[in-house]
Amino acid sequence: MKITAIIQARMGSTRLPGKIIKEIAGEPMLWRVIERVRQSKKIGEIIIATTLNKEDEEVREFARKRGVKVFSGSENDVLDRYYQTALYFNKPEIIVRITSDCPLIDPEIIDKTVEFFLENDLDYASTGRIQSTFPDGLDTEVFRFSALEKAWRESSLASEREHATPYIWKNPRIFKIGEFKNEKDLSYLRWTVDEEKDLNFVREVYKKLYKKGEIFYMKDVISLIEKHSELLGKNKGIIRDEGYLKSLKED
């Protein structure tokens, strides 16, 4: 069974332009995401899904130099970008959606989400789209190509096209959906990168935990925060899923 991670990445960002190439411990953020996803035992291949924009030639060049597969598609219709990427790369049966602004993504949680998806024979599973219990920034979505294709054919709202999966997880009567939950609700923690202060938080985490050739996990970041509670204040007060909420207003 082919399981493919598709990481969406583009240079354009309203709040933090070029964030995916911002340096974290000496490497671009996009590379930090890729190297962590590569530690997954379930994922067989990784593809970057970028846009056709001229500025994203930098993403394509990055992929070529690092030996990572890449596809360029629509900037705003992310659902179409995912579908065309999957189509181009031979329709992988199962797709894991990762975003390039999550440099603390945990490969163990990716694998557990995939296992949950397979064990329950689902069309879609996630760590936080229906009821968030993981820190914002560990977001993992797993879905079948058949579900993606149906969403691509039938969805029409801006929020459904700009964010790839809402049509799937909003329709439990059409798709078999499950939510992989953490034992403890940690959804109040923000580990994604949308603003400069998010980047400062992540850089501090890497400074304290990163060792070349090794990987650290959610439990390690939790332990670090318990010892250094001042880290929590670095990116406090930012709204979760602000981009999706903006799209809903456009529907």
Q: Which of the four pLDDT bands, split at 50, 70 and 90, describes residue 241?
A: low
**Which residues touch 197 (CB under 8 Å, ≥6 apart)?**
234, 235, 238
Residue with more model confidence, 250 or 70: 70
Q: Which of the four pLDDT bands, split at 50, 70 and 90, describes residue 199?
A: very high
Amino acid 13: pLDDT: 83
Q: Which of 120, 78, 111, 159 is nearest to 5 (CA)?
A: 111
Amino acid 14: pLDDT: 80
Task: Give strand pairing partners of 23.
Answer: 28
Gap between the Cα atoms of 107 and 54, Å rounded: 32
DSSP letter for each residue of 187-215: TT-B-S-SSHHHHHHHHHHHHHH--TT--
CA distances to 169, 186, 227, 243 from 164, rounded to whole Å, are 10, 24, 37, 13
Gap between the Cα atoms of 6 and 123, Å rounded: 17
CATH classification for the domain delimited by 3-250, as one of 3.40.50.2300, 3.90.550.10, 3.40.1440.10, 3.40.30.10: 3.90.550.10
- Tokens describing residue 223: 């332990």
Residues in the chain: 251
Eight-state DSSP code of residue 19: G
H helices within the chain, ranges in order? 29-37, 57-66, 78-88, 107-119, 145-154, 158-162, 166-169, 196-209, 218-227, 242-250
Q: Is the predicted pLDDT of residue 230 greater than 90, yes or no?
A: no
